[in-house]
Structure 1
Amino acid sequence: MEDTQEDFMEQEETVDSDEPSLPPFNAPFRSTRLHIQRSNVCSRAYFVVVMVFFHVYILNVIALLLYVHYNNGPGDLVSGDRGSSAPVSDTGSRLPPPAPSSGELHVEDYSQSFSLPRIEGIRVGHVQQVSLVPDRTHEMRTLSLKPLLFEIPGFLSEEECRVVVQLAQLKGLMDSQATAPSQGQEESNQPLLSLSTDEVFSLLDLNQDGLLQKQEIVSHSRSRDGTWLSPDNLRQILTGLEACPTGMLTLGDFRRVYDVSQRPGQAQSGRLHSRFKQRSKHTWLYQGPGSHHVLRTLRNRVTSLTRLPSALVELSEPLQVIRFENGDFSNAHHDSSPSHSETTCAHTRLAGNTSALTEVSCRYLTVLFYLSSVEEGGESTFPVADNRTYEEQALVQDGVDLTDTQETCGRGNLRMKPTAGTALLWYNHLSDGRGWMGELDEYSLHGDCLVRRGVKWVANSWVNVDPDYQQQARYQRLVAQRYRAKTGMEDHYKSLSHSDLHQDL
C-alpha cells in the first residue's frame, strides 16, 4: 500500500515537472458534473410547463375563432346593421350609387333581418347631393317635414319617361276602381251584386247548418272580391255575433245585424276612405328579371335612393303607371293604412293572421315619377303638409272639404306642378324609434288636382313593409323557402322566372 502511494506521488511529480501547474483534476470535475445534472433537470421541467401552456393557449385561440365564426354568420352580420345606417348628413353627403342590375333574385337576403333607414329632411328647402347614376349627381330638396317629403329633379331622362309610357300603353290601361259618380248621379256605396239578406246568410253559411259561426264570417274576408260584402259590413256582422250569448247567429239574428250594417252612416272606417273618389286609368308593370332594362334600372335607382334592403324593394308591388286625361283627378287619400288587429297586410298574407277581417296595403314609402308635364292643372297636392296639428274635422273649412281636389285643390298647403323626369319621395309611416315602421303619418294625405289641359302620366313605386317585424321576417323566410324549392325543381323540369313566384305569392 505504501509502495503504491509512493509510485503515485512520483508520477504526479513527474507530470508537474513536465507541464505547467494545473489545478487539481478530480474535485473540479465532480463539481461541474453535478451542476450540469441539476441544470438539465430544471430545464426539462421548465420546458414541459411552457409547452403545456403553449398548447392550451393555441387551443383557446382555435376555440375562440370557431365561436366567432359560428356566432357571426351572414344573418347576424345583417341584423347587426339594423339601425346602424347613418342618415344623410347635413353636409350633403352622397348616397351610394345604384348596384349593378342582376338577373337573379337576392334570395339569400329574404330570410335576413332588415332595418329601415330614413333620409333626414333637416329643414324645408334643404338640398342634399345624391348619386344615383354613374358620373352624375342629383339634387334632392326637402319640401316638407310633415310628411317627410323630397323632390328630385331629373330623376328620369326624357327617353326613360317615354319608354315607361309606351310600355304602359302596350300593356293596356284599365279604369281605376274608385271612380267619381257622373254629374247628377247619387254616390252609391252599395255592393256590385244585389243580394237579399237570406241569400247573404246562405253564402256565409259554408256548412249549411243554419247557424253562422265566426270562422265562416272570417273566411269570406280573404275572398277580396268586394262584390257583395264590404269590410265594414263584415265588421258589423262580426260585432253582432260576438254580442250573441251563443257565439253563433241564426237567420233571425243575422237579419237584425245585417240590416244595421246596411244602414248609411254605420261604416266604421274613416270618413276619408269611404268618400275617396278618383277618375283615371292605370296599369301595372313588372320590374323583375326578364323585364325591360329601363324598369329594372328604375327599381335599382329606388333602392339606391331609399337605401332600403334590395329584397324589400324586389318583393314590393309592381310599378303602377297612371294616366290622367282632361278632367281626371283623385281626391286626397293615404297610400298606406293604419295597422289594426282586424287587418293584415296584403303583401304578407301568406304569413299573415288568418283571422283578420280584411287585407290592407302596407306601404312604408312612396316614390312618384312624373312621366310628362301638364299644360294646366294636374298638380300633386298635400292639403295639410306641415300643419301644426292634424285633425280630421279641420279638413272641413268654411263648409269646404279640403280633400275634395275638384273644388279645393288651390287651398292645399303644398302643391307641385308635374314636370317630366322629376320624382317625389315621401314616407307614409313614422319611425317606431327602433329602426322599424311605426304609425301611419296622417300628414301624408295627398291627391291629384283636376287636369284642365293636357295629359298627365305618373308612376308610383311603393315599398311594402309589414308593421309587425316578426311577420315580415316570417314572410321573407317563406319566400326564400318557396324560391329554393322552385329553383331546385327547375333542374329537372323547366326554368322558373320571378314572375311565376310573384303570381304564386
Structure 2
Amino acid sequence: MTGRISIGVLLCVCCYTIHYSIADDIQDNACYKDENGISCHKTTYKLTRLESSFVGSIKEVVLTDGTELELKTLSLKPLIFELPNFLSEEECNHFRSLAHDIGLEPSQTLKEKTENTNFNILDLDGDRKLSVPEMRVTIEEAFDVYPHDEDILEMYAETGLDANNDGFITPNELNKLKPSDLQRYVRSFVQNQPEKHARLSNQVWLYPDNSTDSVFERIQKRVSEIVALPIELVKLSDFQVVQYGIDGHYNAHYDSTPVDSKYPCCVRFDKRNCRICRYMTILFYLNDVQEGGETAFPVADDEMFNATEVKLDKRNLFQKCDEAKLKVLPAKGKAVIWYNHFIDNTTQWLGQLDQYSIHGGCPVKKGKKWIGNFWIKVTDNKDEDIKRMEKFI
C-alpha cells in the first residue's frame, strides 16, 4: 500500500506524526523570541515518533522544498524505516571529503578506552562454574572483544586456568588468574587478531551546534523535518562519519542505555559517571559497498526474543551476520531511521530502552563502506533540555 503525504510545519506540540494532517496552529519551532525574551512550549512540547501499522508499508513524503521521498517500514520491533536517496550524491561525497579533511581516527568503544580490572563474571545458568560460552560472553562484556570458543580453550591451555581440563572454570580456578592478567592476555590476543574487536573502523565527529558547514546545516533541517522534531533539538545531537575497510564491522550493540535513575544522562564531553541517552538514530550510507557491510538487526520482529540467547549467540555479527532477522543493504544516499527508546507516557519525553533495537554492522567483504550516524539526544530532564535548546533561538 502506498500513500502520499505532505509535510508542512513539523514541530509536534500535539500527538500528531507525519502520517496525519498537521494542524495549522502548530508552531514552527520549540522555542521563539518575542518582546518578553525567549519562550518555549514547555507544557505542550512532546517527543514525536513516526507511526506504521505493518512491515513493508510505503508512504510518499513531500518536504517543504518539494523533495519527494519514500518512507518504507522495515520493522515494527524496533520501529525501523528506510528512505532511499535521502542524501544526494554530492552530499554523500561532501561528508566523506569533510571526514578526510578533519582526520579519521581508529574507532574505540568505551570499554576499549578504559582500564577494566573490575568486571562481572557471567554465570548465566547459576551453576557456580563457567562454561566456555559463559567465559566467552564474560570477555565480550568486559572488554568488547569477541573470541571464538576455540580461542577460549586456547587461553585455558596457555594460562593453565582450566586445571583439570574439564572445560569449566570454578571460582577456585578463576581466583588463580588476576583480572589485570586476564586484561593483558585479552589485549595481546586482539592485537594479533584485530577483526575480533567489537568494532573495526575509523571515524570522525561532527557537532551540529559548532558547525558552519552549509551542507551539514541543510541536512540537519531535512532530518528535523522528516522525523518531526525541532531543529533546536537536532542541533544538540552528535554526528559521526565512519569508514570501514575489508573486515570492518561493528558487532551487535545498543546505541543507547536503559533508563536508570541512579545515573544521569551524559551531555557532550561529560566526565561524570553517566549513561548514554540517544532517543533515535538516523544512519546514512555515504557510498555503495561492493560486498557486505549490511546493517543488521539480530532480533527485529522476533517474537521469541530472549535476552540471554542474544548475549550468548547473536551479537557476534563478524561471525553470524547471516543469522540476523533483518539486514539492510547499503546504498549510497539511503537513510535508515530507528528508535532506541519509547516515549514515556507521563512526561512524553525519554522512555524505556527498546530491547529490540540491538543492531550492528556486518563485515565488509569487498571495497569500503562509509556511513554517517546522526544520534538525536535528549536527557531525562525535559526542562533542562529545552533550556539548552534556547541558545539556538
- Do Structure 1 and Structure 2 share a fold, with TM-score over 0.5? yes
Aligned length: 305
Q: Return the offset for 1:81.
A: 6.6
Q: Return the offset for 1:316.
A: 1.7
Match of 1:166, SS state, is helix
Q: Deviation string for 1:417-469 (max 9, x for gaps)?
A: 11000000000001223432210001000010110101100001111111x2x
Query: What is the match of residue 120 of structure 2?
Result: none
Code of the residue aligned with 1:127 in structure 2: it is: I
1:85 and 2:15 correspond: yes
- Contact persistence 1:126–1:142 (CA under 8 A): yes
Match of 1:381, SS state, is strand
**Residue 199 of structure 2 is aligned with which of 278, 285, 290?**
278
Equivalent residues in 2 for 1:50-449, closer than 5 Å: 82=13, 84-89=14-19, 108=38, 112-113=42-43, 114-132=45-63, 134-178=65-109, 191-192=114-115, 277-288=198-209, 291-317=212-238, 319-347=239-267, 358-395=273-310, 401-434=313-346, 435-449=348-362
Query: What is the match of residue 473 of structure 1?
Result: 383
Which protein has the bigger helix share? 1
Code of the residue aligned with 2:65 in structure 1: it is: P
Q: Deviation string for 1:1-37 (max 9, x for gaps)?
A: xxxxxxxxxxxxxxxxxxxxxxxxxxxxxxxxxxxxx
Q: Return the offset for 1:474.
A: 2.6
Q: Distance in 2 between matches of 1:407 and 1:379?
A: 13
TM normalised by structure 2 equals: 0.68
Could you say if the C-alpha distance between residues 412 and 105 of structure 1 is closer, same or farther in structure 2, counting changes exceeding 3 Å? Answer: farther
- Contact persistence 1:118–1:306 (CA under 8 A): yes
Q: Deviation string for 1:263-282 (max 9, x for gaps)?
A: 989xxxxxxxxx98101000
Match of 1:458, SS state, is strand
Match of 2:38, SS state, is helix
Q: Which shifted more, 290-299 or 326-335?
A: 290-299
Q: Return the offset for 1:361.
A: 1.3
- Contact persistence 1:383–1:402 (CA under 8 A): yes
Long gaps (5+) in structure 1: 1-79, 180-187, 195-229, 231-258, 266-274, 484-497, 499-505
Code of the residue aligned with 1:390 in structure 2: it is: F
Q: Return the offset for 1:314.
A: 1.4
Code of the residue aligned with 1:322 in structure 2: it is: V
Match of 2:229, SS state, is coil
Q: Return the offset for 1:341.
A: 2.5
Match of 2:19, SS state, is coil
Q: Deviation string for 1:382-402 (max 9, x for gaps)?
A: 000001143222226xxx721
- Contact persistence 1:332–1:405 (CA under 8 A): yes
Q: Distance in 1 between matches of 2:343 and 2:330?
A: 29
Long gaps (5+) in structure 2: 1-10, 118-141, 143-176, 184-195
Q: Distance in 2 between matches of 1:406 and 1:193?
A: 24
Q: Which has the higher contact order (CA 8 A, sep 6+)?
A: 2
Q: Distance in 2 between matches of 1:451 and 1:409?
A: 11
Match of 2:237, SS state, is coil
Q: Return the offset for 1:379.
A: 0.6
- Contact persistence 1:95–1:130 (CA under 8 A): no
- Contact persistence 1:383–1:403 (CA under 8 A): yes
Q: Return the offset for 1:311.
A: 1.8
Q: Deviation string for 1:140-172 (max 9, x for gaps)?
A: 000000000000001001011001110011000
Match of 1:135, SS state, is coil
- Contact persistence 2:280–2:339 (CA under 8 A): yes
Q: Distance in 1 between matches of 2:331 and 2:22?
A: 24
* Percent of aligned pairs sharing the same letter: 33
Code of the residue aligned with 2:248 in structure 1: it is: D
Bigger radius of gyration, 1 or 2?
1
Q: Distance in 2 between matches of 1:404 and 1:415?
A: 14
Q: Distance in 2 between matches of 1:409 and 1:450?
A: 8
Query: What is the match of residue 191 of structure 2?
Result: none
Q: Distance in 2 between matches of 1:127 and 1:361?
A: 32
TM normalised by structure 1 equals: 0.54
Match of 1:120, SS state, is coil
